[in-house]
Structure formats: C-alpha cells, structure tokens
Chain A
C-alpha cells in the first residue's frame, strides 16, 4: 500500500502536477465525505477515481471544480493554489452526470456559452462552437435544442461545451452512467482517443471497475472518503493493496489470515484471481515445486461466454471461483459435487496487508 502510494505521488516532483491535493477533507454535518486525500495527477493523464457510491470520489471532483469548499486541506491547479476560488475562476471544466445542458439554448449556443461569458464576439464564438460540434459528429444539429437529442448525443454536446474553452483539466462525473452498454463501450473508446489527441488531463469518476480499467492511465480506488490504492490498471488488478481493492476490482478469491497461515505459514490474508486457478477434474494434484494444490468439491457453474466460472468449496478452506477457459468434461449434473483439485502457481498469490478490511 505505502509503496504504491509513494510511487503515485513522488513522480510529481520533477514536474508540477496538473492537480495536487493535500490533506483534502470535506465534512457534511456528521459525515466525513472526504478524509485527508493526498493525490497528484500528472499532466495529460487519464486518471480515474473508482469507488462505490458514497466513497467520496464525486465529492473530490466537486471540490476540484469548486462547487464545494473543503473543510480543510488544499487544491493546487498547475502549482497555483485554487482552494478558495469560485468555480468560474478555475481553469477546469466539468462534464456533468446529467449533462446539465441549458434547455432554452440551441446546441451552438450551449457550446458557445463558455466563450460568450469570456466576451468573445458572436461570429467567432459560433464558429468555434460549430467546429467543436463537428468534432463530436454533431455538426448537423447546430440549431436543435438539447431536448431533441438522444442521451449519447447530449453527452457529446456536454463534452464539446466543456472542451471548447480549452480547460487545463477536464472533470467527468460518471458521464457514461446513463448510456446503454453498447453506446457506453463506444463512448469509452471515443473518450480515450479524444483525450489522447487533445493531451488534456482527464479526471474521470466512475463506479464501474471495468470502465476504469479500460480507459485509465492510472486509477485511484476510493473507499470511505480516502484512497485505498493508486496505480495503473495492471497494478491495481494484479497487485491489489488490500482486501477492499481486491474485492472491488474484479473477482478475487480471498483466504483469510488463518487459512493463509495453514497454507503458507504466514498470518496475512491473501488473494488469487480466478483466472490464475486451475481445476484438475481427475482429482489428481499437480506435484511440482512452486505450485500449491488443494482438494475441493464443485458447487456450481456460471457460463460467461469466453469461459466458465467454476465455484469450488475447498476442503478446510474458502469457497473459490476458478475461471476455466476450456470446455468442461461433462454437464452440470455430472460435475456438481464432483471432487476436484484446485491448484495455482505460488507467484499468483497476492498478500494483502491487514489494513483495508
């Protein structure tokens, strides 16, 4: 945990980070929504804040945007302290979860709004807005009102409206949450490409771990108002820093301290990803060094298309899920309750420090 955090923050020393949060805390009444968050987000980075609802990720975003003032702590934008500044004084823009398009304005006027309040003359700002709408493939709908668009189109308008003023940092508050799966996946790709071509720092809030893993350069996993782990998708998935992260990001097989003690003689919880487990249907254990095997009983299957999730109750251990890519040697009726052996490479084991339970 401390290792990853240090790796996440220390890189900011050679260059000024786009966003720097220090001991950021926000209290609403009796609830501590954000609890002393330290975070550096690099220039041009696609950073995701991932966490369940109520974990404080949206509040952090609103603090960066300036819609809320922190109870304590500081926010720096490119080295400048913006903690006490009003939203309209900050060089960050937001794509809202419900898009918040102005219903009484046409698309062009919506997108040109930020330029208008900056005093750009009518012709120029409309020209710029038209270009921005072209970029998101909505050039044909300049005169329409937001209510005449579909959800995906509104999402693009919100994006164009926020990007046309060329912010240093773009904040996205679960922008894909209201879209259906197909459109969401398409927008994920578009967003990522857009971010890469513009080179603007994106801060993306989501509760969807798959979305975060696909799109982000780095991910911060939030829980109870603080950050559990910061790292690349690969690091977060392969080396979760605690039980919370292991459970929240992907599926994990967790062995508690006592079970781990019995297996390896070390009293710390550990986790193994389902795709790292192998099931031997014959019940014949693999006997090689660096491999651990445990007998168990199959309890159920879930076919997920590219593979089958096999749930096995280990003898004297936890129930684990193994992802089996190959065809199963029989149907449900024959395989349920069959004794099997589950084995894994010892280097697939991730030790989880007790913190974060």
Chain B
C-alpha cells in the first residue's frame, strides 16, 4: 500500500509519541539508578555508582536474584518438556476431547494472575497440604509459561512437512532416531524462542508469586514490592528495577530475533528458488 507523504509524517509522529510515552518512564528508572540525588530531583544532580554498589552488597538483593533465576530456570525446563509433549500430541493425534484440551492448555495465560494465584494457593495449602516454598512458585509459573513453549512448538509443527518423519522412518530410523535427527532439529529454534519467553515471563512475575511463595523467600519483584516504600531503600530499588528490565528484555529480544530469523531465512530461500 502506498502512503502519501503527510500520512507518513502523521503516522511517524504518532508512533514516536506512543513509544516515547511507554519508554520514557523506563528510561527515568535507568537514569535515576545513577542519580546522585537521594530524592531523585530532576534534572539529576550528578552521576554515581553508589546505589549499584549498595545493591550488589545487599544480601537481600543477591538472594532475591538467585531465587528469581532458579525459579525461572526450573519453570522454563518444566515448560519446555510439557509444552513440547503437549504440542506433539495435540498436533499429531486426533482424539476425543482434543480441542477442549487445546483450549484448557492455553487458558492459564489469559486468566488474571490474582485468580490463578488464589486458586493455586488454596490448592496447595488447604487441599494438598503442601507448605508454600519456591517449588510451589515454580509449579505455579509453569502453568502459564508452558503456554509460550506450546504455542511456538505447535506453530512450527504445523509448518513442518509430515513427510520428513515418514522419510526418516522409510530410511530405517526408529522412533527415537527420527525424533533426535529430524524432528528435534526442526523444532530447535521454536524451543529456544518459547523457552526464552517462558524465562522472561517467570523472571518478573509478581502476582501469582505473591500467593504461592513460602514465608521468608523472596524473588526479585517481591523484594521490590517489599522495599518500595522504605525511603532509604528507594535508590537500590531503582537499581533492582533496571536489572529486572534488562533480564526481561534480552530474552524477549532474542526470542523475537530467533523466530524472525527463521522466517526471514526461509523467505530468502524461497526467493532464491524462484530464480
């Protein structure tokens, strides 16, 4: 579609304004993490690394970072396993209730975190009698992190020609050799993208975490919430927030690059074919 010059300008300005509105507050947090003024006066009075040093020295922060990483990694691993298996079974086999299961698998990502949190909290404490801990957080996170893996894998499976696996079997490969040599390599980038998204989702999750975390444990977002209104902690909170932003954005950016790349590469190949 061709756009007139004025339309291009208007669209460009609107886009810039929207992006500015989204990212200025985030930039403010980043800048303030280096702001020498304790009360974050504007413009910043000077540059300091004091808050970063304090944050690194704080045992509370370090513990929270480790907890968050651990929860995100374990939840991602579980999501990769279950998400892939679910995608394989739902895409490959036709069985009674398949569509219902498909819906039920995707639903958790749409449910409000408060509802998931309360429900899981009830389940753990009153029905199962499991004491809340970081493990309960992992399980809670896996319920919705799984969806990102599932979506990525099932989309890839739909694009993959079923003939490849038949060809592999035809050439003498058993079920596991076929999965290892043909199916898995086809899924690799989808798994990576799905896994990175799952990691990012889990790493900065707060609502479900609040309801499922054990007493005395903290993840990074929980730590921020607890220290947000303590005036002397405010500068360190900024630092932690910046860490959270970076750790969340990088995987998403990577995931987008990965899934985008595979599309672009195959597109370029198709074009090369036509020549």
Contacts and interface: CB of A to CB of B under 8 A. Distances in A.
Contacts of A66: 169-170
Interface string A136-148: 0000000000011
Interface string B264-275: 001001101100
B219 to A, nearest CB: 38
Contacts of B177: 117
Contacts of A162: 170-171
A281 interface: no
Contact of A117 (B161, B172, B186): B172
Interface string B232-275: 00000000000000000000000000000000001001101100
B167 A88 contact: no
Interface string A115-128: 01110000000000
SS class, residues of chain B in contact with chain A:
helix
Given A98-B161, A113-B181, A148-B272, A86 B169 contact: yes
A100 B272 contact: no
Contacts of B266: 147
The winner among B169, B172, B185, B272 for most chain A CB atoms within 10 A is B172
B269 A102 contact: no
Given A93-B170, A104-B186, A118-B172, A148 B163 contact: no
Nearest to B265: A147
Interface in B162-214: 163-164, 166-174, 177, 181-182, 185-186
Interface string A61-85: 0000111000000000000000000
The winner among B164, B171, B181 for most chain A CB atoms within 10 A is B171
A167 to B, nearest CB: 9
Contacts of B173: 88, 113, 117
Interface of A: 65-67, 86-88, 92-94, 96, 98, 100-104, 113-114, 116-118, 147-148, 150, 161-162, 165
What are the 9 closest A-B residue pairs judged by CB atoms, nearest first? A100-B163, A114-B171, A100-B167, A147-B269, A87-B169, A117-B173, A104-B185, A88-B169, A94-B170
Interface of B: 161, 163-164, 166-174, 177, 181-182, 185-186, 266, 269-270, 272-273
